[in-house]
Amino acid sequence: MKAKGALLRRLPSVDSLLAQAPIQALIDSYSRDLVIHSIRQTMELARQAIIESRPVDTEFRALLPLIEENLREMTRPSLRPLINATGVIIHTNLGRALLSVAAQHALLTAARSYNNLEYDLDSGKRGSRLTQAGQLLRELTGAEDALVVNNNASALILILSALAKDAEVIISRGQLIEIGGGFRIPDIMRESGAHLVEVGTTNRTRIADFAAALSERTALLLRVHASNFKQIGFVEQPPLGELAALAQAHGALAVDDLGSGTLLDTARFGLEREPTIPESVAAGADLVCFSGDKLLGGPQAGIIVGRAEAIGRLRRHPLTRALRVDKLTYAALIATLQHYRLDEATACIPVWQMIACPLDAIRERARAWSAAVGGAVIAGESTIGGGSLPGATLPTALLALDCDAPDQLTARLRRADPPVIARIADGRALLDPRTVLPEQDEPLLKALQSSI
């Protein structure tokens, strides 16, 4: 106990540390309050180490690096860039779709300068942000009008609240899905004030089931695309065109919630065919909603396209203001949509670059990684992710690292700067080049070399 007491007394005081020139330099770089906070935390850790009989160097030269490292940790942004080597292209936990270079530049330009978000340059009077991106969305989807809100769940809530409050919405039992974060379609409908009418069975619903459920209170016929799960076998759902015709005949509206939503034919890339947004519009849906940060490859947003009259009703609803997006989202979204307009999505949008990347190019990168750090190159599969194309995969080449404790290796990789996120299968750590940007190869290899 006497030895511990002597060590505790040797710990420098906060005031004595503040008088040191290196500490004054830290105050100039950070702030006095932050440096004092770091010193106190460092001293408390040293005290605990002494009490627990762990070795501690109480000299200033040993304490200074600890104070500096603590300051770096305290001021490091909590939202950090990282390297996604999982092979999951639209990784919900890792920020979903990456933005194109053009979208990044547009976002930066919007952030650092005033702009015409709500200003009409022709008239010199106030404009509406709700018109931003509208022309591009009309052109690309064939819809009469469009509206952008902050995500697809809010798009659905807005549609139900504005068009079906205290009215009935008919939906197939097989489409009462749960989306990310535990949000369920029935719960969303309940919050909107709409009354859910379930028809059909879990696996089979026919147009006759919808027709039998129609009443004077029916406002919407709703189709929800099974973006995050897949039914196979003895299943049936009525085509969207039949739903739209039935809704029109009854004076109701047909709404198609596509979930992810795509403007490109996924079959072109060896994937299962996903219904496209223009196809839903052409089939007669009054409103179609989808996400901006999944297969579209843009920023987080909920996009609604469809008939002008229905979009107009949404625009006038009070929720629209609460759910609106800011200038940064519009800037990135418009730049993303321009890629489709110029027929350059697969060349410029990261999601489609990764989907379209040739297997030979992926294999070549995996071999280069193996030559630098060891490990074997094996065949594997990449997934789309983000609830898009469930069960669909793309052939890939993986760097497989054999080790006694792959969980410890992947933990070390997560602590790298930048962190590297890998996956584990069959007792090996696996890294997929498909989701690693080419400019990230060098920091990836550096992280591997220091972690293996």
Q: Is the pLDDT of residue 400 over 80?
A: yes
Distance CA 430, CA 240 (A): 41
Average pLDDT for residues 102-107, to the nearest whole number?
A: 98
Yes or no: domain 101-344 corresponds to CATH 3.40.640.10? yes
Q: Is the pLDDT of residue 396 over 80?
A: yes
Q: How confident is the model at residue 191 (pLDDT cuts 50, 70, 90)?
A: confident
Check residue 252 and give its pLDDT: 96
Q: What is the pLDDT of residues 315-331, one digit of tens each?
A: 999 999 999 999 999 99
Q: Is the pLDDT of residue 390 over 80?
A: no
Average pLDDT for residues 24-42, to the nearest whole number?
A: 95
Average pLDDT for residues 323-341, to the nearest whole number?
A: 97
Q: Is the pLDDT of residue 179 over 90?
A: no
From the options 3.40.50.360, 3.90.1150.110, 1.10.10.10, 3.20.20.70, give the CATH code of 83-93+351-451.
Answer: 3.90.1150.110
Average pLDDT for residues 75-104, to the nearest whole number?
A: 95
Break the chain into its structural domains and give their ranges: 2-75, 83-93+351-451, 101-344
Average pLDDT for residues 27-39, to the nearest whole number?
A: 95
- Best CA proximity match to 91, nearest among 383, 446, 306: 383
- Per the model's pLDDT, the better-predicted residue between 359 and 176 turns out to be 359
**Chain mean pLDDT for the chain:** 92
- Per the model's pLDDT, the better-predicted residue between 272 and 101 turns out to be 101
Distance CA 262, CA 273 (A): 10
Q: From the centroid of its chain, how far is CA 432?
A: 19
| Tokens representing residue 93 in the block | 């936990």
Q: Is the pLDDT of residue 231 over 70?
A: no
Check residue 107 and give its pLDDT: 96
Q: Is the pLDDT of residue 364 over 90?
A: yes
Q: How confident is the model at residue 66 (pLDDT cuts 50, 70, 90)?
A: very high
Q: Is the pLDDT of residue 36 over 90?
A: yes
- Burial class of 166 by CB neighbour count within 10 A (0 to 12, 13 to 18, 19+): exposed
Q: Is the pLDDT of residue 387 over 80?
A: no
Q: How confident is the model at residue 230 (pLDDT cuts 50, 70, 90)?
A: low
Segment among 5-14, 225-234, 346-355 with least mean pLDDT: 225-234
Q: How confident is the model at residue 1 (pLDDT cuts 50, 70, 90)?
A: low
SS3 state at 54: coil
Check residue 192 and give its pLDDT: 76
Type of residue found at 267 = A
